[in-house]
Amino acid sequence: MMKSVLRIYNKTTDMVTFIVSDNRNTNQKIATLLGVPLVGCASHTFNLAVNRFLAEYEAELATVNDLMIQLRHCNNAARLGELTDLQPVKKNATRWSSTYAMVDRYVRIRDAIRQVEAMEDYVPSGVSHKKLVTLLAELEKLGTVCTALEHERITLADVRLLFDKVIADYPIMADRLRASAKFVHFPTFESALVKIGNGDTLATTEARAVKCFGAASDTEGDGERGGPGAKEKKEAAL
């Protein structure tokens, strides 16, 4: 199928030097068959990591999701509509941003929900509510990372810096975000690109991994690509 698509653009598989996609097994297999590295989609990787973090709040999130479903029923929706213009939002199973939207909406309309008599048994308790308020603050912080990852000029070096900062604050995400995560298709290739972005010296294996780009000769041994203090400048910017 890839050959057919490439033919449309007068390209061949020999011209493919790497693939950028999520780290699903199918994509990794395609990269392996082509003999090229696969660079994992940072946003997809981050989504999986945040879902791991959200597992700690599974019970509270299930309660809120059930509440939002109940609020969509005709009588409850009509009563809620008398109290607020904001409608209930439920999460979906794939994107953590929908969980953020759901928790944010719950916190904003909780006072109105409590005035819907039929919802009395569905509203989270005081302890659960406090956990949800805390979670909302954390999701707001993580949302800034998500926004940064979607910037059109972000580099792998920027991504690595962001992920390392997230790991420091949320260790539970480390198995998804660390550079040596087991699902990373070609760690040496990615680490080489990070070092190039930071102006660091490449190891021999890293220089070999990016040889097809002619980058090794510019970085191996001098570590000056990107200029002195490149990493520090990125840290300040992020």
Question: Residue 25: its pLDDT value, please?
Answer: 82
Q: Are residues 158 and 143 in the same domain?
A: no
Q: Examine residue 231 and state whether it is found in any structural domain, yes or no.
A: yes
What pLDDT digit, counting tens, does each position of 4-24 carry? 888 899 888 888 888 888 878
CB 74 within 8 A of CB 118: no
Q: How many helices (H) and strands (E) does the chain have?
A: 13, 2
pLDDT tops 80 at residue 145: yes
Question: Residue 219: its pLDDT value, please?
Answer: 46
pLDDT tops 90 at residue 178: yes
Domain boundary among 118, 147, 176: 147
**What's this model's pTM, rounded to 2 decimal places?**
0.80
Question: Residue 214: its pLDDT value, please?
Answer: 66
Q: Are residues 20 and 79 in the same domain?
A: no
Q: Are residues 32 and 62 in the same domain?
A: no
What pLDDT digit, counting tens, does each position of 160-175 carry? 999 999 999 999 999 9
Q: Are residues 187 and 132 in the same domain?
A: no
Question: Residue 94: its pLDDT value, please?
Answer: 74
More confident residue, 26 or 65: 65
What's the Cα-to-Cα distance from 150 to each of 43, 69, 136, 146, rounded to whole Å? Answer: 7, 31, 21, 7
**Confidence bin at 130 (pLDDT 50/70/90):** very high
What pLDDT digit, counting tens, does each position of 214-230 carry? 644 444 444 444 444 44
Domain boundary among 99, 126, 147: 147
> The tokens of 133 are what?
């308020």
Q: Are residues 80 and 13 in the same domain?
A: no
Q: Are residues 132 and 90 in the same domain?
A: yes
Q: Are residues 17 and 100 in the same domain?
A: no
Mean pLDDT of 155-160: 95
Q: Are residues 72 and 104 in the same domain?
A: yes
Percent of the residues in the chain that have a pLDDT greater than 70, as a whole number: 89
Q: In 170-220, which residue ranges form alpha helices assigned H by DSSP?
A: 174-177, 187-198, 204-209, 216-219
Count Cβ neighbours within 10 Å for each residue of 112-139 and write b for 16 or more, e otherwise.
Answer: bbeebeebeebbbeeeebebbeebeebb
Own/partner contacts of 169-176, CB < 8 Å, gap of 24 or more, are 169/141, 170/49, 170/53, 172/52, 172/53, 172/56, 173/49, 173/50, 173/52, 173/53, 175/52, 176/45, 176/48, 176/49, 176/52
Q: Are residues 76 and 36 in the same domain?
A: no
Percent of the residues in the chain that have a pLDDT greater than 90, as a whole number: 60
Q: Examine residue 137 and state whether it is found in any structural domain, yes or no.
A: yes
Q: Examine residue 48 and state whether it is found in any structural domain, yes or no.
A: no
Q: Examine residue 173 and state whether it is found in any structural domain, yes or no.
A: yes
pLDDT tops 90 at residue 33: no
The Cα–Cα gap between 200 and 85 comes to 54
Q: Examine residue 47 and state whether it is found in any structural domain, yes or no.
A: no
Q: Are residues 82 and 112 in the same domain?
A: yes
- Domain tally for the chain? 3
Q: Are residues 59 and 18 in the same domain?
A: no
Q: Examine residue 85 and state whether it is found in any structural domain, yes or no.
A: yes
Q: Examine residue 45 and state whether it is found in any structural domain, yes or no.
A: no
Q: Are residues 168 and 238 in the same domain?
A: yes
Question: Residue 229: its pLDDT value, please?
Answer: 46
> The tokens of 145 are what?
């990372």
Q: Examine residue 46 and state whether it is found in any structural domain, yes or no.
A: no
Domain boundary among 147, 177, 200: 147
What pLDDT digit, counting tens, does each position of 94-129 carry? 789 999 999 999 999 999 999 999 999 999 989 999
The Cα–Cα gap between 149 and 56 comes to 24
Instruction: Show the domain range for 28.
Output: 1-40
